[in-house]
Amino acid sequence: MSSVKKISRREFMKRTGQAGGGLVFALTFASACQPDEQAIGPAKKAAASVAPNVYVNIRNDGIVEIYCHRSEMGQGIRTSLPQVIADELEADWDKVEVIQAIGHEKYGDQNTDGSTSIRQHFDLLRNAGATARDMMIAAAASLWGVPASECSAREHAVHHAASGKSAGYGELVDTAKDMPQPETAAFKAREDYRYIGKPMDTIDGMAFTTGGGMYGIDTVLPDMLYASIERCPAFGGTVKAYDEAAARAVAGVINVLRMPEPTSPAFFNIQGGVAVLATNTWSAAEGRKALAVEWDRGANGAYDSESYKKKLVDSASAPGTTLLNRGDADIAAAKTHEAIYYAPHLSQAPMEPPAATARVNADGSCEVWACTQDPQTARDTVAATLGIDKEQVTINVTLLGGGFGRKSKPDFIAEAAWLARESGKPVKVTWSREDDIRHGYLHAVSAQYFRAGLDADGNTQTWLHRTCYPTIFSTFSNDAKQATGFELTLGLVDNPWNVPNMRVETCEAEAHVRIGWLRSVCNVFHAFGNCGFVDELAHVKGEDPKDHLLKMIGPARKIDPAADGAEYPNYGQDLAQHPVDTGRLADVAEKVAAMAGWGRDLPKGRGLGIAVHRSFLSYVGVVAEVSVNDNGKLVVHEVWTCIDAGTVVNPDRVHAQMEGATIFGMSLTLHGEITAKDGGIVQGNFDTYPMVRINEAPTAIHSHIMESDAPPGGVGEPGVPPVAPAIVNAYFAATGKRVRELPLRKAGLA
């Protein structure tokens, strides 16, 4: 290779489109959050403006700038959050510009994770809009010499009915900027909402579809170097030797640097390895191949997922630590039924792998451009990595090409910052797909034991549930070997079944990889086990699965796990405001069953399966219709979903999230499996860690949103957990064969 010409992805698409004669969109879209050097960052404010709070800035040209403090990864949050503010502000949507906020604690919690963006910030953002509105009203009243109570705001202006006077928001800036900023204001009545609850197109839709959106992987800075990092196959392993000269001999390679050794516990720190820095991505990757690193695989070098599976199953089969105890789950029963459910490690595998660009300035400050879900944690991690104050760190948030929890962990950002300082140049670190799958933070592998006791009339009298998996907290503490804290919230002690005698236990499991959260976290395997086992009981009893599910849910009631001795953080929100409500759970079960025509005649060899689950304060029901084709492969024909998420801001985004959750959940159910051998992850790309392809997708995904005036629940994650049990329950209905282990392709079904 004598030379490398760098062209952008868009330029490549344009060239290949012309060469191939195909239709290629070559339009660009300048986002409202375009910065000076790159495509993401705060826009320049007009000369005159007033900022009633950190989320709103009103310019004298009438434009309202709304700062989005959460990360956009396709879920539409850069539309939904401004909707809330604009509604209370009485702003004209056509005069709103959305600016992506940098990482800073002044915005409150910025971690776009846990389906918290709406449910934890709804009232905060309403207040941001309402106080800005009242500030405009106060300015107009002062200007006109009338009581503020006689003025009202609507359609981007303040009006005084008695005099007929009106003033646009831009006209009031000069008066408002010298006035006190209100801290609270009255909210609009629900019936007066203009934007909240209404379907609205995403503001980034044009950028998404025409290539105008700028992602972490797109960042380019002057004089920038490209880094590719070789990491130890086994978690925690270290470098013994490598061939630096061979790597430097590759054309375009500028530097080779040994990374800091991995820490124990891992946290979000750099995990060691050797970095090759070059003038282009290709040279960096080729130099990396030439390193020929010899590794000390360390304490996890013998990790083997098959032998570990047996340890998990054995652990789950023995008594554990009691988390919840109601009555006596060990009393004698007329009939006992038991089962073990198993689910493997999973990778988040976002379409855009982790990518970050960092520049360390002469004064020691650091600027970062990254596809991060959690810019504040990224800021703290960079500051700690470089040994500087976090006020010297600026995190510019780009668009994210998917996240699913992976990009809330800023290890890749720390790598870019450290390399930028050590090399004296701006550095972009881009993980390959193989890097992401083999060296990321994996979703926990799990084994669950269930035992139910039936009385003489066939009613479920006792219930025992043991769960065993390496805890997320092992990433932050070497001593963590059991679920604790928020993990208990995730489909475990918030068990909705109406069983008089119940015990829930956890068992010890040691982590041999970095464990992290994935979309819906432990709810994924807990719903799989809970809803699968309930379906098993229906067939043991000879009852219709839907009727039996409703019987297990029981009468409408509010559950407090603490009453049975359980610690229950309730997703960080007040249990009184967001109770575990079995009535809402039963309602989504009834609705989704009706949507699917439960009880209708089906073609021979087809089956319907149903599952329901509460997670992230929302209630979701799923029905799947499946069959097995002539090749013995499972076919998912249609899927019906129903969600009760309380107050909904943007129904379009909720429907999209439910559809996406169905495909995501199907990918986990049919294909999702990460395995380890000799400490290293076996899978590396979509050939060995497949996603559902279009030929496997259902012919239709139907979604319904329950009408509710309850406080908002989560949306991005709750749709995933019921998908797997609905599919495996449908498979049983179609074939009479029970599946208790994921993924289905292990049984030859996918």
Q: How confident is the model at residue 9 (pLDDT cuts 50, 70, 90)?
A: low
Burial of 590 (0-12, 13-18, 19+ CB in 10 A): middle
**Phi, psi for 305 (deg, rounded to 5):** -65, -30
Largest pairwise CA distance in the chain: 83
Helix, strand, or coil (residue 634): strand
In CATH terms, is domain 305-347+441-747 a member of 3.30.365.10?
yes
| Each residue's pLDDT tens digit, 45-76 | 545 999 999 999 999 999 999 999 999 999 99
Domain ranges in the chain are: 49-210, 216-298+354-430, 305-347+441-747
CATH code at 49-210? 3.30.365.10
Average pLDDT over residues 215-223: 97
Q: How confident is the model at residue 8 (pLDDT cuts 50, 70, 90)?
A: low
Closest listed residue to residue 614, CA positions, set 733, 530, 504, 501 = 530
Closest listed residue to residue 636, CA positions, set 701, 691, 705, 588 = 701
Helices (H), 612-706: 651-670
| Percent of all residues in the chain with a pLDDT value above 70, rounded to a whole number | 94
Look up residue 283 and give its amino acid.
S
Mean per-residue pLDDT over the chain, rounded: 94
Q: What is the pLDDT of residue 699?
A: 98
Please give the Cα distance from 473 to 441 (Å, whole number). 12
Q: How confident is the model at residue 21 (pLDDT cuts 50, 70, 90)?
A: very low
> Rounded to a whole number, what is the distance in angstroms from the first to the last CA of the chain?
42
Structure tokens at 51: 């900022």
Q: What is the pLDDT of residue 46?
A: 47
| Each residue's pLDDT tens digit, 440-466 | 999 999 999 999 999 999 999 999 999
- In CATH terms, the fold of domain 216-298+354-430 is Aldehyde Oxidoreductase; domain 4 (3.30.365)
Length of the chain: 750
pLDDT of 744 > 50? The answer is: yes
Torsion sign across C-alpha atoms 40, 42, 46, 47? negative
Q: Using the CB atoms, write b or e for 264-284: b if 16+ within 10 Å.
A: ebbebbbbbbbbbbbbbbbbb
Q: What is the pLDDT of residue 587?
A: 98
Bridge partner list, 596: none
Burial of 170 (0-12, 13-18, 19+ CB in 10 A): buried
- 251 with 279: CB under 8 angstroms? no
Nearby residues of 576 by Cβ (< 8 Å), 6 or more positions away? none
Closest listed residue to residue 593, CA positions, set 726, 736, 732 = 726
| Percent of all residues in the chain with a pLDDT value above 90, rounded to a whole number | 93
- The residue assigned the tokens 């809803």 is 531
Q: What is the pLDDT of residue 17?
A: 44
Structure tokens at 99: 């600016």
pLDDT of 107 > 80? The answer is: yes
- 85 with 187: CB under 8 angstroms? no
Please give the Cα distance from 130 to 124 (Å, whole number). 10
**Phi, psi for 410 (deg, rounded to 5):** -90, 30
Please give the Cα distance from 518 to 532 (Å, whole number). 21
Please give the Cα distance from 626 to 526 (Å, whole number). 22
Nearby residues of 215 by Cβ (< 8 Å), 6 or more positions away? 352, 355, 371, 398, 399, 400, 401
Fold match between domain 216-298+354-430 and domain 305-347+441-747? yes
Structure tokens at 282: 């290709």
pLDDT of 37 > 70? The answer is: no
Please give the Cα distance from 664 to 718 (Å, whole number). 12
| Each residue's pLDDT tens digit, 558-596 | 999 999 999 999 999 999 999 999 999 999 999 999 999
CB atoms within 10 A of CB 143: 17
pLDDT of 264 > 60? The answer is: yes
Q: How confident is the model at residue 24 (pLDDT cuts 50, 70, 90)?
A: very low
Average pLDDT over residues 210-215: 94
Please tell me the pTM assigned to this model. Answer: 0.94
Closest listed residue to residue 514, CA positions, set 296, 113, 237 = 237
| Each residue's pLDDT tens digit, 355-372 | 999 999 999 999 999 999
Q: What are the angstrom distances between the C-alpha of 653 and each of 201, 300, 658, 704?
A: 9, 42, 9, 12
Please give the Cα distance from 21 to 685 (Å, whole number). 30
Helices (H), 145-227: 173-176, 205-210
Helices (H), 558-606: 582-596
| Each residue's pLDDT tens digit, 514-567 | 999 999 999 999 999 999 999 999 999 999 999 999 999 999 999 999 999 999
DSSP 8-class letter at 262: P
DSSP 8-class letter at 167: E
